Amino acid sequence: MAASIHLPDPTRPLSFGGRAGRAALAMAWVLLFGCRPRTAPPSGGPVAEWPYYGGDPGGERFSPLTQIDKSNVKALKVAWTYHTGDVSDGTRYARRSEFEATPIVVDGLLYVSTAFNRVVALDPETGRERWIYDPHIDLHAEYSEGLMNRGVSSWLDSARRPGQACRRRIFIATIDARLIALDAANGAPCADFGQHGQIDLADADGIRDRIRRKGEYEETSPPAVIDGLVVVGSSIADNDRVGMPRGTVRAFDARTGALRWSWDPIPARAAEAAAASWAGDSFSQTGAANAWSVMAVDPALDLVYVPTSSPSPDYYGGERKGDDRWADSIVALRGTTGSFVWGFQLVHHDLWDYDTAAPPLLATLRLSGRDVDAVVQGNKTGNLFVLNRATGVPIFPVTERPVPPSSVPGEQPSPTQPFPTAPPPLTPQRLTAGDAWGLTPWDRGGCRDRMKRLLAEGIFTPPTVQGSLILPGNLGGMNWSGYAFDPQNQTLVTFTDSIAFEVHLIPRAQYLPIERAAKAGRFRAEVSPQHGTPFGMSRQPLLSRLGLPCNPPPWGALTAVNLATGRIRWSVPLGTSDNFLHLPVTFRWGLPGLGGPIVTASGLVFIAGTAGDNYLRAFDIDTGRELWKGRLPAGGQATPMTYRLNPAGRQYVVIAAGGHGKITRQLGDSLVAFALP
């Protein structure tokens, strides 16, 4: 499982004698000098590691590096490739693999987690393997999220001397719900942490009492680290039943693993302030509202920013009437104690699986001549909220607007939902049959006929038995891919998906035959039982007879927003039909996907992400113009990162290219590094 690096054999002598030797020497001269750029990569300039999943504790995803710039980015080439060996097509193991990880680079080493949750340490400049740790997860368990992990975190124990065991620790939260601490130097478990280096996260706070099967309570994102504490949320399966495990957020001592605090997004007692937003004691029946995405921290304010998901189940809320706080929110907790500081709910009484999936991003905005510390929080709705970091008060006003009511017995949607006055929605939020799209009139007509049968009242159209047209769908807007912020020009860049979904509520008496048909492949929609309610559910992308979305493109876009003004600077389709359609012509429609951007001080945006082609791309942050693209061995459904370790060295841009078990056909196991020749 070594890195894919091919070097000349240093033990074999080179001979250039005779005519053949002189010809070989001439050819070597051409290969060495004739095919290379005449100028070497610029020396000097900034150096920087990438010590956090988002580059810094606040997830800004901004790098000060400038060696790769707009003038030379076209010269980027593959510098090294490392193969993890961890890939599953779902035949040998229960689930397909999803290589979604973003590596970190700290103290001169690169650390990445694989689809099988192994942790690998590499030399960042060569891709050579230093060590591997295998947590031996059960690869045959039916994890709801597939075989995946999004990354690791690190912590430096300043009380320990250099060279002492576990002075630098690498933390991984595994998909089978363990928190593991490793010695960054050699990958050995830190024996003084938990039980022999690990903690069973399901074995506390009554969580195990609600778990019915292996794989419905998971960890998928890197932990947050603040002031010697490691903070974890959880990933909980959607739509199975009302009483799913609760989405408790917990902080553990980074040195010992002792539990320091816990906080539940769902109130546990009627005396809690949030309980007033739940009808009766319904908060005691439901579950989830979990923090499965990446958290952000502000050590100066001693705050942890937690994005929460929908309460269970997603598409029927008759058993959880009210706004359901603090589900579908961003919440600030005191880092040292876990006490609630403030919360802001992005979606009231969620019926659409509109999780707060995008990570919070901490930025300093220049507003009216003064600096304002903000937290930026996007949502699957396409709405982008900009809040005061210390108080949660909106910086750009948010208004409550009326939304459609429901005719489903027992359902009581919120009569209003919050909409920011700026920025405007980053994705379309209304679609009718008259907007149907198709590659041919036949295709478009089929979409139109199907859409006419669905309830379509714009965003927040409630689910119905007859069927509802939902745009954006549960994968739409801003997902876990998130965004990046350039503080130099106050520009936030984000990838958005725009695919319409068809959602049905299924009366309980009709559900089992439909579930059997789905398992047998006779019914293509995803179905879930929503036990404890009168309805199961089905959902599926609204696609034409040719398999194309029925809503007009772009279906995936890269959008830049000026956060000082709240205005959109530019928006361009992201992705082509290269791997999506087998046609002689490439269409630049913009395709859905998963994978976020980063930005650099040289004015570049790097992003892959699209499900339709296998490229890492670089864009001009000022114009949105594509400047370069590099072919990947599989889809880059991950967020890249960049680093440069010394002034005489090269800047590298690295991305996981393994495809995605749910949205791409081609899978892989490659970690690919690009650099200037």
Contact partners, residue 68, CB within 8 Å, separation at least 6: 76, 600, 602, 604, 642, 651, 653, 675, 676
Residues 6+ apart with CB under 8 A from 262: 205, 248, 249, 250, 251, 338
Is the CB of residue 614 less than 8 Å from the CB of residue 580?
no
* Cα–Cα dist 489/603, whole Å: 9
What is the DSSP code string of 475-502?
T-BS-TT-EEEETTTTEEEEEEE---EE
Distance CA 282, CA 349 (A): 12
Start-end of H helices in 531-635: none
* Whether the Cβ atoms of residue 330 and residue 387 lie closer than 8 Å to each other: yes
Q: What angle do CA 154, 156, 157 make, to 5 degrees?
A: 135
The β-bridge partners of 605 are 599, 619
φ/ψ (deg, to 5) at 23: -65, -40
Cis preceding-peptide flag for 292 (omega within 30 of 0): no
**Burial classification of residue 12, based on how many CB atoms lie within 10 Å of its CB (0-12 exposed, 13-18 middle, 19 or more buried):** exposed
Q: Using an 8 Å Cβ cutoff, are 174 and 219 in contact?
A: yes
The helix or strand, by DSSP H or E, that contains position 507, with its residue range, turns out to be: strand 501-507
| 353 catalytically annotated | yes
CB 309 within 8 A of CB 235: no
CB 550 within 8 A of CB 261: no
Q: Side chain identity at 561, as an amino acid letter?
A: V
Per the structure block, which two tokens stand in for 570?
């530019």
The DSSP output letter for 338 is -
Catalytic residue among 353, 355, 486, 669: 353
Distance CA(126)–CA(133), nearest Å, equals 20
Question: What is the phi/psi pair of residue 21, to 5°?
Answer: -65, -40
Known catalytic residues are 353
